[in-house]
């Protein structure tokens, strides 16, 4: 068998090195053969057995010698697998599988069993960095096929995988479950880090050792789907997740609606991770010949802890996913926290002046600018009526945009286009566009209902909101897309099959976003959902940034941003300085600088020294943003178990770095007693250290040697003390290489 394997290995090697980009190579392998899904550092290895069944035979570090993959299983002495399919890469229901299935169907003839056998595979070199492997599976009895697709990003160590389901039976096949991915991980002791939350309390982490049975992470909220549980998680193998060591996988489902992730520890102590759209209330009737494509599941596997995993994921997200992820971002002044719904043209003109004074790029007009029959003066009315309110803005949005243009300030606007207040003309004119059960009383979330995006007419309407804003205001430079309600009483007047609503809603949303991006490819848009109620890697394809939380208290933000940073890069994190929290303005600005800086404060009420500080900080941010947005991030000191937190960013050639430190405890003498070991620097370079973001006239307290020159190796092995204490509760240090 080994010699046969060597042949295959030879083929694979050649395929990967010789194949020009975009060429597809198809082949059929015989039993005992091997399909490795590799990135630079990780591998998932599929093998085909004599009965044409496909197995996950290895999941872990990429091995130098591929022969070693098939030797791995010989070294296991685990309990037996009577079914012979428990390590299938796409477990079926109703036949031999004894565990949670990835797919469960009722065939056209009513049969409830599915078995999938290996047919063939192909690989496509999408680019020098991306290799896509497709594996075709088929039921030996029914004309039912599943293709598993693995897109492996070599340098970033990220794999996206999904399934494509196709049937040609005598009628519709009901898909009761239709996961995107089914991983199988050999081990004994696995730890899960998951998140829960609510409004203003997003991203609360919990770490638990997985016990036998199934742990399910899911949401059934429909829209604002991640409010209580975001679709991101990590699993470590062997010990609880650590920052710089140990094997850990970060995973997420790329879907903006209901998702379900099952983590099942089986009788052999191995872990299966099955992730996809949530099949709750969601059976799908698949017509013959119609392809059903699941969303993508993505993961990165690291043998060097969460630090390496998150840097890989962040690099992937910047390069391949987040809109303009390698570009730049606009600093801004938002009016929400300052005015709420209470503003008029005059007030906005004053805020435009403040925008200019602060030196940020853009003014963002928030909620409350629309609605006439039912003015949007609070959150009970007007949502859906996207005409400027004549009382507040007698000359329309155009007048404010014109004023902004004249002042050399960019203009952005808030919308919440998927929603409607019952008190609105939209609701009166199109009651059938609203998701609600016909026989039940309406029930509201923030006094509003969700529009039925499964309906193409509603899709046109939502697209039209954005389109007409751009048509009327060609210089419009930014959109904040909000989404504040969940789906209650799920029923669509448009759909024949109600159980498809949750899926079709999200597909409808993506159709709208596709159209927007086809016409307006570059305009920055913020993904907001009453805070972080919708942050995922499917939506971020259309958005340049997300709003992590309405909670902008900087102390809270240190924890929130810390946790988000495992999964999302700083360039996408919209961080605003507001009146939340009673910390000094410097603390607030320093925290907000660890991402995409914005302000939402009454600038006119700042003390002169505070205003000066903010203006200087905006200029400083312009100097540092390249490192923060595009550099590698290193979490140095965790706020969860220290008096202070430290995080740093290092640019690609390691010539510049910025380190942020914040006091998070107010206990006596709390602070940075010891030096902090830096990370990611070049051990052989020398760095000059400078403290920035100081109030005018304030002196830094950091202790520097005479030459102000430190080797990277000293800074990483011994460290540097940012001197954080009650008198210096936040400290920003810039490191510049001098050789
Ligand atoms: C929720 C958002 O998170 C806030 O920033 C603000 O835009 C309000 N909605 C407006 O209603």
Block means of pLDDT (10 residues each) for the chain, 739 residues, are 42 52 54 88 97 97 92 93 97 97 98 97 97 98 98 98 98 98 97 98 98 98 97 98 98 98 97 97 96 98 98 98 98 97 98 98 98 98 98 98 98 98 98 97 98 98 98 98 98 97 98 98 98 97 98 98 98 98 98 98 97 98 98 98 98 98 97 98 98 97 98 98 98 98
Determine the distance separating the centroid of ligand 1 and the alpha carbon of 472, expressed in angstroms. 24
Mutate to test the pocket of ligand 1, among 336, 369, 547 (most ligand atoms within 8 A of CB): 336
Determine the distance separating the centroid of ligand 1 and the alpha carbon of 530, expressed in angstroms. 5
Strand ranges inside 139-188, DSSP E: 144-153, 158-167, 173-185
Assess whether the C-beta atom of 367 lies below 6 angstroms from ligand 1.
Answer: yes
CA angle 283/289/293 to nearest 5° reads 55
Beta carbons of 110 and 75 less than 8 angstroms apart:
no
Alpha carbon 458 to chain centroid, angstroms: 26
Beta carbons of 504 and 521 less than 8 angstroms apart:
no
DSSP at 226: T
Assess whether the C-beta atom of 481 lies below 6 angstroms from ligand 1.
Answer: no
Beta carbons of 564 and 573 less than 8 angstroms apart:
yes
Integer CA distances (angstroms), 165 to 12, 52, 147, 735, in order: 26, 19, 7, 52
Q: Rounded distance, CA 368 to CA 374, Å?
A: 11
Query: What is the number of the ligand 1 atom nearest to the C-alpha of 366?
Result: 7
The packing angle between helices 456-472 and 501-519, to 10°, is 30
Q: Rounded distance, CA 475 to CA 171, Å?
A: 52
Residue nearest to atom 5 of ligand 1 (CA): 550
Query: What is the number of the ligand 1 atom nearest to the C-alpha of 550?
Result: 3
SS (H, E, C) 285-352: EECCCCCEECCEEEEEEECEHHHHHHHHHHHHHHHHHCCCCCCCCCCEEECHHHHCCCCCHHHHHHHH
Tokens found for residue 353: 């002046």
Examine the residue annotation and report whether 378 is marked as an active-site residue of this protein. no
Determine the distance separating the centroid of ligand 1 and the alpha carbon of 600, expressed in angstroms. 12
Query: What is the number of the ligand 1 atom nearest to the C-alpha of 547?
Result: 3
Beta carbons of 279 and 101 less than 8 angstroms apart:
no
Residue nearest to atom 2 of ligand 1 (CA): 530
Assess whether the C-beta atom of 366 lies below 6 angstroms from ligand 1.
Answer: yes
Q: Which of 579, 490, 550 lies closest to 221, judged by CA?
A: 490
**Active-site entry in 139, 218, 550, 553:** 550
Examine the residue annotation and report whether 139 is marked as an active-site residue of this protein. no
Give kind and range of the element (H or E) at residue 18.
helix 2-18
The verdict on whether residue 199 carries a ligand-binding annotation is: yes
Please tell me the predicted confidence (pLDDT) of residue 33. 84
* Neighbouring-strand partners of residue 576: 598
Determine the distance separating the centroid of ligand 1 and the alpha carbon of 482, expressed in angstroms. 7
CA angle 24/85/5 to nearest 5° reads 45
pTM here is 0.96
Give kind and range of the element (H or E) at residue 560.
helix 554-564
The verdict on whether residue 550 carries a ligand-binding annotation is: yes
Integer CA distances (angstroms), 576 to 199, 552, 570, in order: 17, 7, 13
Q: Rounded distance, CA 107 to CA 109, Å?
A: 5
Determine the distance separating the centroid of ligand 1 and the alpha carbon of 354, expressed in angstroms. 21
The verdict on whether residue 484 carries a ligand-binding annotation is: yes
Q: Rounded distance, CA 369 to CA 378, Å?
A: 11
The verdict on whether residue 483 carries a ligand-binding annotation is: yes
Assess whether the C-beta atom of 370 lies below 6 angstroms from ligand 1.
Answer: no
Assess whether the C-beta atom of 90 lies below 6 angstroms from ligand 1.
Answer: no
Residue nearest to atom 11 of ligand 1 (CA): 367
Give kind and range of the element (H or E) at residue 501.
helix 501-519
Determine the distance separating the centroid of ligand 1 and the alpha carbon of 726, expressed in angstroms. 33
Tokens found for residue 16: 């990967």
Assess whether the C-beta atom of 484 lies below 6 angstroms from ligand 1.
Answer: yes
Assess whether the C-beta atom of 536 lies below 6 angstroms from ligand 1.
Answer: no
Strand ranges inside 342-444, DSSP E: 362-365, 410-415, 419-420
Tokens 């990220």 found at: 158
Determine the distance separating the centroid of ligand 1 and the alpha carbon of 342, expressed in angstroms. 14
Rg over CA atoms, the chain? 27
Alpha carbon 493 to chain centroid, angstroms: 32
Please tell me the predicted confidence (pLDDT) of residue 262. 98
Beta carbons of 588 and 581 less than 8 angstroms apart:
yes
Assess whether the C-beta atom of 550 lies below 6 angstroms from ligand 1.
Answer: yes
User: Is the dihedral angle over the CA atoms 596, 600, 604, 605 positive or is it negative?
Assistant: negative
Q: Rounded distance, CA 17 to CA 699, Å?
A: 57
Contacts of 238 (CB under 8 A, 6+ apart): 187, 188, 189, 246, 247
Residue nearest to atom 3 of ligand 1 (CA): 530
The three-class DSSP label of residue 162 is strand
Please tell me the predicted confidence (pLDDT) of residue 67. 85
The packing angle between helices 608-630 and 585-592, to 10°, is 20
- Burial class of residue 231, CB neighbours in 10 A (0-12, 13-18, 19+): buried
Assess whether the C-beta atom of 338 lies below 6 angstroms from ligand 1.
Answer: no
Determine the distance separating the centroid of ligand 1 and the alpha carbon of 546, expressed in angstroms. 12
Determine the distance separating the centroid of ligand 1 and the alpha carbon of 547, expressed in angstroms. 10
Assess whether the C-beta atom of 153 lies below 6 angstroms from ligand 1.
Answer: no
Q: Rounded distance, CA 371 to CA 231, Å?
A: 35
Q: Which of 149, 121, 160 lies closest to 12, judged by CA?
A: 121
Phi/psi of residue 398, nearest 5 degrees: -55, -40
Domains contained in the chain, CATH given: 4-321 (2.70.98.60), 332-430+474-489+526-631 (3.20.20.70), 633-737 (2.60.40.1180)
Alpha carbon 233 to chain centroid, angstroms: 11
Tokens found for residue 622: 């312009």
H helix runs in 565-703, sequence order: 585-592, 608-630
Q: Rounded distance, CA 590 to CA 588, Å?
A: 6
Tokens found for residue 503: 């899926």
Determine the distance separating the centroid of ligand 1 and the alpha carbon of 331, expressed in angstroms. 18
Tokens 């042949």 found at: 7
The three-class DSSP label of residue 673 is coil
Q: Rounded distance, CA 290 to CA 108, Å?
A: 14
Assess whether the C-beta atom of 482 lies below 6 angstroms from ligand 1.
Answer: yes
Please tell me the predicted confidence (pLDDT) of residue 1. 38
- DSSP string covering 698-724, please? --------TT--EEHHHHHHT-B----
The verdict on whether residue 6 carries a ligand-binding annotation is: no
Give kind and range of the element (H or E) at residue 457.
helix 456-472
CA angle 524/528/533 to nearest 5° reads 150
Contacts of 8 (CB under 8 A, 6+ apart): 29, 33, 34
Contacts of 548 (CB under 8 A, 6+ apart): 202, 203, 531, 532, 535, 557, 560, 561, 564, 573, 574, 575
Alpha carbon 201 to chain centroid, angstroms: 17
Mutate to test the pocket of ligand 1, among 338, 482, 483 (most ligand atoms within 8 A of CB): 482
Q: Which of 535, 506, 479 lies closest to 226, judged by CA?
A: 535
- DSSP string covering 199-253, please? TT---EEEEEEPPSEEEEEE---SSSTTSS--SEEEEEESSS--SSSBEEEEEEE
Assess whether the C-beta atom of 483 lies below 6 angstroms from ligand 1.
Answer: no
Q: Which of 587, 577, 564 lies closest to 660, judged by CA?
A: 587
The verdict on whether residue 528 carries a ligand-binding annotation is: yes
Tokens found for residue 468: 């007409």
Residue nearest to atom 10 of ligand 1 (CA): 367
Please tell me the predicted confidence (pLDDT) of residue 145. 98
The three-class DSSP label of residue 70 is helix
Beta carbons of 628 and 605 less than 8 angstroms apart:
no
The torsion angle over the Cα atoms of residues 694, 696, 702 and 706, rounded to 10 degrees, is 130
Give kind and range of the element (H or E) at residue 450.
strand 449-450
Give kind and range of the element (H or E) at residue 188.
none
**Active-site entry in 226, 482, 590, 632:** 482
Alpha carbon 713 to chain centroid, angstroms: 34
Mutate to test the pocket of ligand 1, among 418, 419, 484 (most ligand atoms within 8 A of CB): 484
Assess whether the C-beta atom of 613 lies below 6 angstroms from ligand 1.
Answer: no
Assess whether the C-beta atom of 639 lies below 6 angstroms from ligand 1.
Answer: no
First to last CA, the chain: 55
């Amino acid at each position: 068998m080994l010699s046969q394997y060597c042949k295959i290995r030879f083929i694979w090697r050649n395929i990967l090195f010789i194949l020009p980009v975009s060429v597809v190579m198809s082949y059929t392998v015989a039993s005992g053969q091997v399909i490795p899904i590799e990135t630079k550092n990780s591998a998932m290895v599929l093998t085909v057995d004599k009965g044409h069944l496909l197995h996950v035979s290895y999941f872990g570090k990429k091995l130098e010698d591929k022969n070693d993959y098939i030797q791995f299983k010989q070294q296991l002495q685990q309990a037996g697998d009577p079914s012979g399919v428990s390590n299938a890469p796409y477990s079926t229901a109703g036949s031999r599988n004894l565990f949670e299935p990835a797919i469960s169907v009722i065939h056209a003839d009513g049969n409830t069993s599915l078995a999938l056998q290996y047919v063939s595979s192909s690989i496509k070199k999408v680019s020098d960095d991306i290799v896509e492997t497709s594996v075709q599976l088929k039921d030996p009895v029914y004309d039912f096929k599943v293709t598993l697709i693995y897109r492996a990003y070599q340098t970033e160590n990220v794999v996206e995988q999904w399934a494509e389901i196709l049937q040609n039976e005598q009628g519709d096949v009901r898909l009761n479950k239709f996961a995107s991915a089914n991983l199988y991980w050999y081990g004994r002791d696995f730890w899960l880090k998951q998140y829960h939350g609510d409004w203003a309390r997003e991203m609360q982490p919990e770490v638990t050792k997985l016990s036998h049975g199934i742990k399910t992470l899911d949401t059934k909220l429909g829209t604002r789907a991640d409010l209580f549980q975001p679709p991101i998680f990590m699993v470590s193998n062997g010990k609880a997740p650590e920052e710089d060591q140990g094997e850990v996988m970060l995973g997420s489902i790329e879907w903006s609606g209901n998702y379900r992730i099952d983590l099942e520890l089986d009788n052999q102590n191995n872990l299966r991770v099955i992730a996809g759209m949530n099949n709750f209330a969601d059976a799908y009737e698949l017509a013959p010949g119609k392809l059903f494509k699941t969303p993508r599941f993505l993961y990165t596997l690291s043998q060097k802890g969460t630090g390496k995993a998150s840097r890989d994921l962040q690099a992937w997200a910047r390069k391949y996913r987040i809109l303009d992820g390698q570009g730049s971002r606009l600093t801004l002044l938002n009016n929400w926290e300052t005015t709420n719904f209470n503003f008029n043209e005059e007030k906005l003109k004053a805020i435009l002046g403040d925008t200019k004074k602060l030196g940020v790029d853009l003014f963002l007009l928030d909620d409350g600018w629309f609605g006439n029959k039912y003015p949007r003066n609070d959150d009970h009315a007007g949502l859906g009526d996207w005409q400027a309110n004549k009382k507040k803005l007698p000359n329309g949005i155009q007048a404010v945009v014109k004023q902004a243009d004249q002042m050399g300030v960019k203009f952005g606007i808030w919308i919440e286009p998927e929603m409607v207040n019952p008190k609105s003309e939209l609701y009166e004119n199109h009651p059938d566009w609203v998701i609600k059960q016909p026989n039940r009383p309406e029930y509201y979330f923030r006094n509003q209902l969700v529009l039925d995006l499964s309906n193409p007419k509603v899709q046109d309407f939502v697209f039209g909101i954005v389109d007409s804003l751009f048509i009327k205001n060609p210089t419009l430079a930014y959109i904040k897309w909000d989404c504040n309600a969940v789906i209650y009483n799920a029923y669509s007047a448009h759909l024949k099959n109600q159980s498809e609503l949750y899926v079709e809603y999200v597909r409808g949303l993506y159709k709208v976003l596709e159209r927007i991006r086809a016409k307006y490819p570059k305009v920055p848009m913020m993904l907001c959902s009453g805070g972080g109620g919708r942050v995922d890697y499917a939506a971020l394809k259309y958005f340049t940034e997300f709003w992590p939380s309405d909670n902008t208290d900087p102390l809270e933000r240190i924890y929130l941003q810390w946790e988000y940073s495992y999964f999302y890069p700083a360039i996408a994190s919209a961080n605003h300085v507001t009146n939340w929290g009673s910390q000094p303005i410097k603390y607030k600005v320093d925290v907000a600088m660890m991402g995409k800086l914005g302000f939402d404060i009454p600038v006119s009420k700042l003390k002169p020294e505070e205003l000066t500080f903010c203006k200087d900080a905006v200029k400083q941010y312009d100097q540092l943003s390249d490192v923060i947005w595009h550099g590698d991030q290193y979490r140095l000191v965790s706020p969860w178990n220290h008096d202070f937190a430290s995080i740093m960013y290092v640019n690609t050639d390691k010539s510049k770095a910025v380190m942020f430190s914040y006091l998070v405890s107010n206990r006596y003498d709390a602070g940075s007693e010891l030096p902090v070991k830096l990370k990611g620097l070049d051990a052989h370079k020398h760095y000059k250290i400078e403290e920035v973001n100081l109030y005018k006239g304030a002196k830094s307290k950091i202790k520097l040697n005479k030459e102000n020159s430190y080797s990277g190796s000293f800074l990483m092995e011994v460290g540097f003390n940012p001197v954080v204490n009650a008198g210096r509760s936040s400290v920003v240090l810039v490191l510049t290489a001098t050789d």
